[in-house]
Structure 1
Amino acid sequence: MANSAGSRKRARQAEKRRQQNASLRSTARTYLKKIFAAIETGDKAAAEAAFKTAQPVLDSSVNKGIFHKNKIARYKSRLSTKIKALA
């Protein structure tokens, strides 16, 4: 455990950040699962709607440093390709 007051504060801040990051990561993953579920059912309209609502969440997670930008770009590209293939 941390001994000095400064290191105790750092430990508290790190724990708060860890919990916030975990929450944001979980939210983004939930949106991704909704898109995957819509694609699995073959419902193009639902998949497009889910994709449209998920894009801002995914982009903001990149800006907050939760995911790497290339990873989210790759996900978005592959998902849009799968949605287009549903036609």
Structure 2
Amino acid sequence: MANNKSAKKRIEITKRNRLRNRYYKSSVKTLIKVFCHELEAYKTSQNPEEKEKLKKMLNSIYSLIDKATKKNVLHKNAAARKKSKLTVYLKTA
């Protein structure tokens, strides 16, 4: 256990940052899974309304990834890789 004031403060900051990191990472993973599920549904139906829904979903995922990158939760290259992969998934559908 921490003995001085600065060590106790570092423990609190680490706890806060861990929760923030976990929120962003899990949210990105969840949205990607939902996006892939919706993409599979679109592949079978080829409905134009679903394609618009997918584009809006992709924009929200991009936004969350960019926010995570800005707060140094994700590395910029990892964020670019995730965004690129999602774009390729949508284009091949």
TM-score (norm 1): 0.83
1:1-87 counterparts in 2 under 5 A?
Answer: 1-41=1-41, 42=43, 43-86=50-93
Mapped partners of 2:74, 2:3: distance in 1: 33
Greater than 6 Å deviation, 4+ residue runs: none
Mapped partners of 2:72, 2:2: distance in 1: 26
| Structure 2 unmatched runs, 5+ | 44-49
| Structure 1 unmatched runs, 5+ | none
Q: CA RMSD in A?
A: 1.6
Percentage of pairs with the same residue? 27
